[in-house]
């Protein structure tokens, strides 16, 4: 089963069920490269100790991207004396959740890209439809930022994505060069109140101008408006002003909070599959899979430990399913 950002949410329960009912799992990854220094044969010398191999891979391989993750679940059918397999092929790409979310940098190795291209690998599915992800620290940081913004908005601070009545007690301090712009916005909003239209879409503008609009409208029109930033497919951001009564305002604010929560869950993305594998406690097997496990931990869970902790960490993950 091929899984991209388009069908990920619809497929998630199927993946969870397959993991839960499996006797064991197999994984395999495809990467944007293998080594940023030594050639591959030197990087994977068969005479290396586990610590030496780990140190080399940690130093020379972690700046590449794991952008395809293969998962196959195996369940033994006693009646038919055979294993029932369920394969999943996930395309993965670290699409930023918002402007404050991690903007991941990664490198590519020409030989790896050439090999994947020769095998018919679909790079468009990675870059256009890849499933996003966050590791645990990134998820915690974004959830904390989201909660801080909500608290600021409730107290009248920051730049809210909607207007709450009476959250601004004084007029905005509008710089001279922006006064004509803000006055034109005020005129448009006043006209909205006097006609039958319910919605007003302002022209795209800068983040600072949007902040001035929010502060000004929040002070000048403390009730009767819902004001929200909208982003187009071309990443242009503009402000939408909607006439509302108090009941509808509260409903829209609640919907906004629910959308934020859903978007944040979407940003966690593929990491939810890794969490499910770990929590299942199922045996995970693979061919020459140290690099796969290291990338999986590094991208979707947490930063890799130093070498003196590697055996303890590997043992810990083995107890949760990685072997």
Rounded mean pLDDT of 109-116? 94
Lowest mean pLDDT, pick from 4-13, 65-74, 307-316: 307-316
List, as one string, the DSSP characters of 227-268.
Answer: EEEEE-TTS-EEEEEEE--HHHHHHHHHHHHHHHHHHHHHHH
| pLDDT tens digits for range 37-46 | 877 777 777 7
Q: Give the pair of three-digit tokens for residue 289.
A: 């899979």
Per-residue confidence band for 161, with pLDDT thresholds at 50, 70 and 90: very low
Distance (Å, rounded) from C-alpha 184 to C-alpha 182? 5
State yes or no: pLDDT of 163 exceeds 70: no
State yes or no: pLDDT of 195 exceeds 70: yes
| pLDDT tens digits for range 178-190 | 999 999 999 999 9
CA end-to-end span of the chain:
24
**Helices and strands, counts by H and E, the chain:** 12, 8
| pLDDT tens digits for range 264-274 | 888 899 999 99
The domains of the chain, with CATH numbers, are 2-133+269-319 (3.30.420.10), 148-266 (3.30.1370.50)
Q: What is the pLDDT at residue 150? A: 67
Mean pLDDT, the chain, as a whole number? Answer: 85
Residue in 202, 224, 114, 212 with CA at minimum distance from that of residue 172? 212
Rounded mean pLDDT of 252-259? 80
Distance (Å, rounded) from C-alpha 60 to C-alpha 42? 11
State yes or no: pLDDT of 74 exceeds 50: yes
Name which residue leads in pLDDT, 158 or 99: 99
| pLDDT tens digits for range 228-243 | 888 887 878 899 999 8
Q: Give the pair of three-digit tokens for residue 83.
A: 């294993």
Per-residue confidence band for 312, with pLDDT thresholds at 50, 70 and 90: low
Rounded mean pLDDT of 155-172? 49
Pairing of strands 24-31, 199-201: unpaired
Helix (H, G, I), strand (E, B) or coil at 167: coil
Q: What is the pLDDT at residue 323? A: 44
Site of tokens 């496990």: 293
Distance (Å, rounded) from C-alpha 83 to C-alpha 78? 9
Per-residue confidence band for 227, with pLDDT thresholds at 50, 70 and 90: confident
Lowest mean pLDDT, pick from 77-81, 237-241, 250-254: 250-254
Per-residue confidence band for 193, with pLDDT thresholds at 50, 70 and 90: confident
State yes or no: pLDDT of 130 exceeds 60: yes
Residue in 315, 318, 293, 319 with CA at minimum distance from that of residue 304? 293
Rounded mean pLDDT of 22-48? 87
Name which residue leads in pLDDT, 102 or 181: 181
């Amino acid at each position: 089963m091929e899984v991209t950002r388009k069908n990920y949410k619809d497929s998630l329960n199927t993946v969870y069920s397959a993991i839960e009912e499996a006797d064991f799992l197999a994984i395999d990854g495809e990467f944007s490269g293998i080594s940023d220094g030594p050639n591959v044969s030197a990087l994977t010398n068969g005479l290396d100790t586990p610590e030496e191999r780990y140190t080399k891979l940690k130093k020379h391989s972690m700046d590449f991207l794991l952008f395809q993750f293969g998962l196959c679940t195996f369940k033994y059918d006693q009646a038919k004396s055979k294993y029932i397999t369920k394969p999943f092929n996930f395309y993965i790409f670290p699409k930023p959740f918002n402007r404050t979310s991690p903007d991941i940098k990664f490198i590519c190795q020409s030989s790896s890209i050439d090999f994947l291209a020769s095998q018919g690998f679909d790079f468009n599915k990675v870059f256009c439809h890849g499933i996003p992800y966050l590791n645990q620290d990134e998820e915690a940081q974004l959830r904390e930022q989201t909660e801080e913004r909500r608290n600021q908005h409730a107290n009248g601070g920051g730049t809210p994505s909607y207007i709450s009545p009476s959250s601004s007690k004084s007029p905005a301090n509008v710089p001279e060069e922006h006064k004509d712009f803000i006055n034109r916005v005020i005129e448009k909003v006043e006209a909205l109140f006097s006609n039958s239209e319910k919605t007003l879409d302002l022209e795209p503008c800068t983040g600072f101008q949007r902040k001035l609009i929010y502060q000004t409208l929040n002070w000048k029109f403390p009730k009767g408006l819902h004001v929200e930033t909208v982003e187009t497919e071309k990443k242009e951001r503009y402000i939408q002003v909607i006439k509302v009564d108090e009941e509808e305002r509260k409903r829209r604010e609640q919907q906004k909070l629910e959308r934020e929560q859903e978007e944040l869950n979407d940003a966690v993305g593929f990491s939810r599959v890794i969490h499910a594998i770990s929590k299942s406690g199922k045996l995970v097997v693979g061919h020459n899979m140290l690099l796969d496990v290291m990338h999986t931990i590094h991208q979707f869970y947490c930063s890799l430990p130093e070498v003196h902790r590697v055996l303890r960490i590997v043992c810990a993950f083995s107890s949760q399913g990685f072997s």
